[in-house]
């Protein structure tokens, strides 16, 4: 592409190079989906990949001018794949157990994905003139967007026809009902 970062298109017509870049991640995800029996191998080096990816990320941020163009591309590529493999392994290791809270978040995720962009674009316009560090602004946008997305899901989507459309069925708002449903599912799986 001639630059060390991925071009972001402002057009509805995708940039071919950017399309190929993201297609790579899609293909890897599709291959993993089709070969789920190999997912456990991600747990072997999950911590090592996550820590090395994080160290390289922050090391790059501190020494940007030190790296050549080729080295920058190499380091960024390593960071992306190390964090993908590491975080995938960590989530498989620690996030695979059934949990009513995680099930709720999973159920809400499609709604959050659909509505977060306009909210996350609007809030910065409201706090643009705040005289606070950028990280505080970022955390404010992240927190307020999350609260709005999950509150609207809980109040207006989960038990309605919208929730049924997005998730395949309506769900109860109570965590205890989610736990009961999971227990029933586990019993069915154990029986047969």
Task: Give me the percent of the chain exceeding a pLDDT of 90.
Answer: 41
* 22's tokens: 């993201």
Whether 69 has a pLDDT exceeding 80, the answer reads no
pLDDT beyond 80 at 161: yes
| Mean local confidence (pLDDT), 26-42 | 89
Gap between the Cα atoms of 192 and 189, Å rounded: 5
Q: Which of 9, 45, 28, 184 is nearest to 103 (CA)?
A: 184
Each domain of the chain, given as residue ranges in start order, spans 16-94, 100-191
Instruction: Out of 7-11, 72-76, 135-139, pick the least confident.
Output: 7-11
Q: How far apart are the C-alpha atoms of 109 and 146, rounded to whole Å?
A: 11
Contact predicate 8/18, CB 8 Å: yes
Q: Which of 3-7, 81-85, 146-150, 160-164 has the lowest mean pLDDT?
A: 3-7
Among 47, 25, 54, which residue's Cα sits nearest to residue 93? 47
Alpha-carbon distance of 127 to 114, in angstroms, equals 23
What does the alpha-carbon distance between residue 63 and residue 32 come to, in Å, rounded to a whole number? 34
pLDDT on residue 147: 97
User: For the whole model, what pTM was predicted?
Assistant: 0.61
Average of pLDDT values for 40-69?
85
Angle between the N-to-C axes of helices 134-152 and 100-127, in degrees from 0 to 180, rounded to the nearest 10: 130
């Amino acid at each position: 592409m001639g630059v060390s970062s991925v071009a972001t298109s402002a057009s509805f017509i995708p940039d071919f190079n950017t399309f190929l870049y993201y297609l790579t991640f899609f293909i890897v995800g599709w291959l993993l989906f089709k070969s789920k029996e190999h997912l456990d191998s991600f747990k072997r080096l999950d911590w090592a990949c996550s820590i090395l990816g994080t160290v390289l990320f922050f090391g790059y941020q501190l020494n940007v001018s030190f790296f050549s163009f080729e080295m920058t591309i190499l380091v960024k590529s390593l960071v992306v794949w190390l964090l993908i493999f590491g975080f995938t392994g960590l989530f498989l290791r620690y996030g695979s157990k059934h949990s009513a809270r995680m099930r709720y978040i999973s159920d809400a995720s499609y709604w959050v994905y659909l509505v977060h962009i306009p909210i996350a674009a609007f809030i910065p316009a409201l706090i643009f003139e705040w005289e606070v560090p950028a990280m505080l602004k970022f955390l404010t946008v992240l927190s307020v967007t999350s609260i709005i997305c999950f509150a609207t899901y809980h109040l207006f989507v989960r038990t309605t026809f919208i929730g049924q459309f997005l998730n395949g069925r309506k769900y109860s708002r109570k965590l205890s009902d989610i736990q009961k449903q999971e227990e029933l599912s586990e019993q069915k799986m154990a029986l047969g």
